[in-house]
Amino acid sequence: MILDEAKHAPFVLNSSSRKQIIAHLTLSFDLDDTLIPGVKQFRTEKQSRLQRLLGIEKIRSGTITLFRKLREDGHTLGIYTTSYRSKAKIKLTFFTYGIPVKFVVNQQSHNVKVHELGLPSSKFPPAFAIDLHIDDSVGVQIEGEKYNFKTLIIHENDERWTEIVISSIHRMQQSKLRE
């Protein structure tokens, strides 16, 4: 990847040596049963003593490496959850793992925005300029099809979930480049 000094945007050279802007995406991840075990159980990242002392929730194994790679690739990362956890608590959780998130949409902020738009959707990422939402709920996927937003559904027993996320993002980038 090369940095285009004039535009301060990364680009790649294709076979005809024309510049192509790499699409940087805004990505959101669900918490419960996607990144944080609840009803669905999966392996988790190791916790420090401080995290245990502060009562920080465990996060899914692979999250730290994935978030670092996605941020390194220039993507904006956030959390979109139907949880009533405070934004500060959610941000603290990811900060303690060394992977701070740029934004948090919790149930309260979702309710305000969706009420303004008059949509009866449990999640609506376009209202927050989110390009792709990663979740565990097939219901969210159905809403995505109905309201025209992109979702990626991750299953609890999928050990290769990070590869699936990266692959899906690459496909979206290629699609955006063709537009």
Rounded distance, CA 34 to CA 38, Å? 9
Radius of gyration in angstroms for the set of CA atoms belonging to the chain, rounded to a whole number? 17
Least confident interval from 55-59, 150-154, 157-161, 171-175: 171-175
Q: How many CB atoms lie within 10 A of CB 135?
A: 28
- How confident is the model at residue 85, as a pLDDT? 97
Average pLDDT rounded to a whole number, residues 44-63: 97
Closest alpha carbon to 67 in 29, 106, 104, 124 = 29
Q: Is 7 helix (H, G, I), strand (E, B) or coil?
A: coil
Mean pLDDT of the chain: 89
Q: How confident is the model at residue 82 (pLDDT cuts 50, 70, 90)?
A: very high
Highest-confidence segment of 3-7, 18-22, 119-123, 143-147: 143-147
pLDDT band at 152 (very low <50, low <70, confident <90, very high): very high
Domain boundaries, the chain: 23-178
pTM, entire model: 0.86
Spatial CB neighbours of 148, under 8 Å, sequence gap ≥ 6: 126
Nearest-10 Cα torsion for 51, 101, 163, 153: 100
Contact 131, 151 (CB under 8 A): no
Pick 118 or 18 by higher pLDDT: 118
What architecture is domain 23-178?
A: 3-Layer(aba) Sandwich (3.40)
β-sheet bridge partners, residue 36: 32
Give the DSSP H/E element, type plus range, for residue 19. Answer: strand 19-21
pLDDT score of 41: 96
Q: Is the pLDDT of residue 154 over 90?
A: yes
d(CA 4, CA 19): 9
Quick one: average pLDDT of 41-48?
97
Query: What is the C-alpha separation between 73 and 89, in angstroms, rounded?
Result: 26
- At residue 23 the predicted structure's pLDDT band, cuts being 50, 70 and 90, is confident
The DSSP secondary-structure symbol of 136 reads S
pLDDT at 14 over 50: no
Residue 89's pLDDT band, with cuts at 50, 70 and 90, is very high
Residue 94: its pLDDT value, please? 98
